Homo-oligomer: A and B are copies of this chain.
C-alpha cells in the first residue's frame, strides 16, 4: 500500500495581522493553527465542512503556544501538523511554524479537541462514526513531507 504524503500548510503573514510592535500579534497564531488543522484534515479526506455536515463539531478544549521568534509582515511560513494523540473522544494536534525560506522555527503549539454533536454533546467517534475514527487513527504521529 502506498503511504499518502502530506504537504505542510503554507501561508503569508498579513499586514492586518501586525500590531504596533511591528510584529504579528500573538492571537493570530491560533487562527493559523486552525487553518493548518483544517487543511490537514482535508488532506486526510476529512474536510471540516463534511464533518460539520455529519453533525460533528471539533471545538478546542485547550491550547498552548510557545512564541520563539517573532513573525513579521510578508514572512512566508510553513505549518507542520501532527496528531500527537487520539482515542476517538479527544485528539491533540501539535504544530510547528517555520519560515519557508530560512527554516527558522517561529512557534510551536498544541491544541486539544473533543468531538461534539450539534446539541453540544460529546460523541465517541469509534462507536458513532467508525469510518471517521479509522482515518484519524491512521494518521497518528504521521508527519508531512517537505
- Chain A at the B interface: SS class: mixed
Is the beta-carbon distance between A26 and B60 smaller than 8 angstroms? yes
Q: Return the chain B residue nearest A26 by Cβ.
A: B60
- Expressed in whole angstroms, the Cα–Cα distance for A1 and B15 within the complex equals 34
- Expressed in whole angstroms, the Cα–Cα distance for A30 and B15 within the complex equals 12
Of A16, A18, A47, most buried by chain B (CB within 10 Å of CB) is A16
Contact with B along A24-45 (1 / 0, CB 8 A): 0111101100110010000000
Is the beta-carbon distance between B57 and A61 smaller than 8 angstroms? no
Q: Return the chain B residue nearest A18 by Cβ.
A: B20
Number of copies: 4
Size bracket of the A interface: 35 or more
Chain B residue contacts of A66, Cβ below 8 A: 61-62
Within 8 Å of chain B (Cβ to Cβ): is A144?
no
Q: Which residues of A contact B (CB under 8 A)?
A: 14-16, 18-23, 25-28, 30-31, 34-35, 38, 47-49, 57, 59-67, 70, 73-74, 120
